[in-house]
């Protein structure tokens, strides 16, 4: 029930529309119930069974008084205009009732549309906002495809739940209750059969539906796994083809897809059993009703027209009961989907903003790493183990080490992509945690090893996230990054759309776009993760020239992959197994015959 209460919290902003929807459903249910006794006058005239009522009864709010008054009014119509005209009036009355019923049916859907779309909008907005605010560490344990499923399929399930809850949970019980009250008024003994059926059917349907939430949750998790495989496959299509791994990836996909198919079969078999089973039980009772009711007609306990109206009322119970069981199933699926969405929304952001953060817009002195310890998960070995160094303003430090030594992690701690397990990082002698995160990151520029570009124009990829930028500034940044020339050779220049992740550009071109982005932001501290190893000689030369221009008179941390690019930096830190094992400039480290020299020998420097 916690998920249902949570669902109501999402409906609060639309409470006025929800009330109008409920009111429309209640009125629709009212006219649905009223339509049942409305056919009795028509049947009485048709079968010439209408009793003449000459004495005007007192009108009150009891059902019997209302029916007596209607009988009196109808008798007056027959006496004044004849049976043929009375039939016309009866038909017109039925038309008006059904017109009102369907009018309120449409109004209920009219008021529901902005509610369901609004809740979906709010959920998507909240979920996306939460996802991009969570720290990078959260995504090391989660799969992107599963996140996409939560954004799409799970939210759709919640939408269906809202429809079911507002439509069926308010309308159908009123129709069922009103029909049963009418049936009980007509014949209490006949109604006992219907009442027993509803209890029995409800017990069976409830037993079928109870397991649906658990199985629906399993199905949504499996769908998330399938979407993850699709996302990974599309992102790594080049590698899949290069290693002839199409069959391997297909088998992975088919295994999960087949498991999902089998699970969905079980879910749908269980769900679809509810409707035909309830209908079958209803037909059994109809047969009993027809036998038992016919005997009462023959015994003149009730009139034939009343018995026919009773059957109409009973059929009016069956469809709402089936709709209610379907709505209950949809609600169970929605609860499972909402549980998966709430898992994201309720995840704590471990990168917390200070209660009263320091504001900063100028880097003045130094960045100091003081006895840093860090690991991604408890019980794992330290990724960084007692690391200390100082980066003074205007200086450049290069990080050198084999893959997995902790270089990138060390750089990721500065913009607070992760927080430390122990130790402290100081910016101008104030701990990083005391600064506004937004202010801190506005001082930094990051050029990553993998060029991160978006399916947008070259212009928007350079401007990305920055406001108040002029086209001249963008062009100047592109020129400084040695990118302007190739940009102008593209089909639409700066307005050329570069495809998903920049696939329409070469590796060197993508890298220069990211450098142009860094030039435009004009960061006070630059984190540069080299990517030159994957470029051809000409692209490497252009990227290297752009990088050197970008680094001029700027405080920087370079994650080095080629030692030839860092021979003139102020200090080099050699990292191994999360520890700094050597430090100094290129000349000093070259004379130590240590780990740095081994890297030089490997790269023939």
Angle between the 15-46 and 63-81 helix axes, to the nearest 10 degrees?
Answer: 50
Q: What's the confidence (pLDDT) of residue 562?
A: 81
Q: What's the confidence (pLDDT) of residue 367?
A: 93
Q: What's the confidence (pLDDT) of residue 464?
A: 84
DSSP summary character for residue 134: S
Q: Nearest CA to 219 among 250, 259, 252?
A: 259
Which of 227-241, 277-291, 412-426 shows the highest mean pLDDT?
412-426
Scan for tokens 């809850």, then name that residue.
Answer: 165
Q: What's the confidence (pLDDT) of residue 434?
A: 92
Structural domains of the chain, with CATH: 2-345 (1.20.1560.10), 366-602 (3.40.50.300)
Using a pLDDT cut of 70, give the percent of the chain over it: 84
Which of 27-36, 80-89, 575-584 shows the highest mean pLDDT?
575-584
Which of 161-170, 196-205, 227-236 shows the highest mean pLDDT?
161-170
- The more confident residue out of 417 and 215 is 417
User: What six digits make up the tokens of 51?
Assistant: 């009793």
- The more confident residue out of 287 and 428 is 428
Q: How many CB atoms lie within 10 A of CB 317?
A: 23
Q: From the centroid of its chain, how far is CA 65?
A: 54
Q: What's the confidence (pLDDT) of residue 430?
A: 92
Q: What is the mean pLDDT of residues 415-440?
A: 91
- The more confident residue out of 312 and 411 is 411
List pLDDT tens digits, range 97-124: 889 999 999 999 899 889 888 888 888 8
Q: What's the confidence (pLDDT) of residue 236?
A: 63
Cβ partners under 8 Å of residue 69, min gap 6:
56, 57, 59
Q: What torsion, rounded to 10 degrees, do the Cα atoms 566, 567, 570, 573 define?
A: 60
Q: What's the confidence (pLDDT) of residue 321?
A: 76
Q: Nearest CA to 204 among 196, 193, 216?
A: 196
List pLDDT tens digits, range 446-459: 888 777 888 889 99
Compute the distance between CA of residue 298 and CA of residue 186 in angstroms, rounded to an integer. Answer: 16
Q: What's the confidence (pLDDT) of residue 48?
A: 59
List pLDDT tens digits, range 350-398: 888 888 898 988 889 999 999 999 988 888 889 999 999 999 999 999 9
User: Which pTM does this prediction carry?
Assistant: 0.74
pLDDT at 80 over 80: no
Query: 94 pLDDT band (50/70/90 cuts)?
Result: confident
Kindly report the average pLDDT of the chain as a whole number: 81
Query: How would you write 460-505 as a 3-class SS string?
Result: HHHHCCCCCCCHHHHHHHHHHCCCHHHHHHCCCHHHCECCHHHCCC
Cβ partners under 8 Å of residue 435, min gap 6:
354, 357, 358, 359, 360, 427
Give kind and range of the element (H or E) at residue 162: helix 155-186
Cβ partners under 8 Å of residue 97, min gap 6:
31, 34, 35, 38
Compute the distance between CA of residue 556 and CA of residue 550 in angstroms, rounded to an integer. Answer: 10
pLDDT at 433 over 80: yes
Q: What is the mean pLDDT of residues 562-573?
A: 87
The contacts found for 85-89 with CB under 8 angstroms, 24 or more apart, are 86/41, 86/45, 86/50, 87/42, 87/45, 87/46
Q: Kindly report which listed range (226-230, 485-489, 558-562) carries the lowest average pLDDT score.
A: 226-230
List pLDDT tens digits, range 191-226: 876 677 667 666 766 666 566 656 777 777 788 788
Q: What's the confidence (pLDDT) of residue 369?
A: 94
Q: What is the mean pLDDT of residues 37-66?
A: 61
Strand-pair partners of 435: 358
Q: What's the confidence (pLDDT) of residue 399?
A: 93
Q: What's the confidence (pLDDT) of residue 243?
A: 61
pLDDT at 325 over 80: no
Q: What's the confidence (pLDDT) of residue 61?
A: 57
pLDDT at 274 over 70: no
User: What six digits make up the tokens of 141?
Assistant: 């344990």
Cβ partners under 8 Å of residue 429, min gap 6:
365, 366, 368
pLDDT at 157 over 70: yes
Yes or no: say if 329 and 274 are a contact pair by the CB < 8 Å rule. yes
Q: How many CB atoms lie within 10 A of CB 531?
A: 21
Q: What's the confidence (pLDDT) of residue 405?
A: 86
Yes or no: say if 338 and 156 are a contact pair by the CB < 8 Å rule. no
Instruction: Provide Rg for the chain, Cα atoms.
Output: 37
pLDDT at 309 over 90: no
Query: 55 pLDDT band (50/70/90 cuts)?
Result: low
Q: What is the mean pLDDT of residues 417-440?
A: 91
Q: What's the confidence (pLDDT) of residue 60?
A: 59
Q: Nearest CA to 205 among 272, 159, 274?
A: 274
Q: Kindly report which listed range (65-69, 104-108, 556-560, 573-577) carries the lowest average pLDDT score.
A: 65-69
């Amino acid at each position: 029930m916690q998920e249902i209460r949570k669902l109501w919290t999402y409906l609060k902003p639309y409470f006025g529309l929800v009330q109008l929807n409920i009111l429309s459903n209640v009125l629709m249910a009212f006219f649905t119930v009223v339509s049942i006794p409305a056919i009795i006058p028509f049947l009485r005239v048709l079968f010439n069974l209408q009793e003449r009522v000459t004495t005007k009864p007192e009108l009150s709010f009891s059902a019997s008084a209302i029916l007596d008054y209607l009988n009196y009014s109808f008798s007056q119509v027959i006496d004044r205009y004849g049976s043929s005209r009375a039939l016309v009036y009866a038909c017109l009355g039925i038309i008006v009732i059904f017109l009102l019923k369907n009018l309120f049916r449409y109004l209920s859907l009219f008021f529901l549309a902005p509610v369901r779309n609004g809740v979906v909008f709010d959920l998507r907005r909240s979920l996306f906002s939460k996802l991009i605010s969570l720290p990078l560490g959260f995504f090391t344990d989660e799969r992107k495809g599963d996140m996409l499923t939560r954004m799409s399929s799970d939210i759709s399930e919640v939408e269906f739940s809202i429809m079911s809850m507002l439509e069926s949970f308010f309308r159908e019980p009123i129709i069922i209750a009103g029909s049963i009250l009418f049936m009980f008024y007509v014949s209490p003994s006949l109604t006992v059969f219907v009442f027993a059926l509803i209890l029995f059917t409800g017990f069976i349907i409830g037993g079928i539906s109870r397991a649906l939430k658990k199985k629906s949750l399993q199905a949504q998790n499996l769908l998330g796994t399938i979407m993850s495989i699709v996302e990974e496959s599309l992102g790594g299509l080049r590698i899949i083809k290069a290693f002839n791994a199409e069959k391997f990836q297909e088998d992975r996909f088919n295994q999960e897809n087949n498991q999902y198919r089998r699970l969905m079969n079980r879910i749908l078999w269980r769900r679809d059993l509810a409707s035909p089973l309830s209908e079958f039980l209803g037909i059994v009772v109809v047969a009993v009703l027809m036998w038992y009711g016919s005997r009462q007609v023959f015994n003149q306990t009730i009139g034939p027209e009343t018995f026919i109206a009773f059957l109409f009322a009973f059929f009016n119970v069956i469809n709402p009961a089936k709709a209610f069981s379907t709505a209950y199933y949809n609600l169970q699926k929605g609860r499972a989907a909402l549980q998966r969405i709430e898992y994201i929304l309720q995840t704590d952001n471990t990168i917390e903003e200070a209660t009263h953060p320091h504001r900063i817009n100028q880097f003045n002195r130094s960045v100091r790493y003081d006895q840093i310890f860090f690991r991604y998960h408890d019980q794992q070995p330290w990724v960084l183990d007692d690391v200390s160094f100082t980066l003074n303003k205007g200086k450049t430090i290069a990080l050198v080490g084999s893959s997995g030594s902790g270089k990138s992690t060390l750089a990721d701690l500065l913009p607070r992509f992760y927080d430390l397990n122990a130790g402290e990082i100081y910016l101008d002698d104030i701990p990083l945690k005391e600064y506004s995160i937004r202010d801190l990151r506005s001082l930094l520029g990051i050029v990553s090893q993998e060029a991160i570009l978006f399916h947008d124009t070259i212009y928007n990829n350079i401007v990305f996230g920055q406001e108040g930028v002029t086209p001249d500034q963008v062009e100047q940044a592109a020129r400084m990054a040695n990118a302007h020339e190739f940009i102008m050779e593209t089909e639409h220049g700066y307005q050329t759309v570069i495809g998903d992740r920049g696939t329409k550009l070469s590796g060197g071109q993508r890298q220069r776009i990211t450098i142009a982005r860094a030039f435009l932001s004009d960061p006070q501290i630059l984190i540069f993760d080299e990517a030159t190893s994957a470029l051809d000689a000409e692209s490497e030369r252009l990227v290297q020239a752009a990088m050197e221009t970008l680094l001029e008179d700027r405080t920087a941390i370079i994650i080095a992959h080629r030692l030839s690019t860092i021979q003139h930096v102020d200090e080099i830190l050699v990292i191994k197994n999360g520890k700094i094992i050597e430090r100094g400039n290129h000349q000093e480290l070259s004379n130590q015959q240590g780990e740095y020299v081994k890297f030089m020998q490997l790269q023939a420097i």
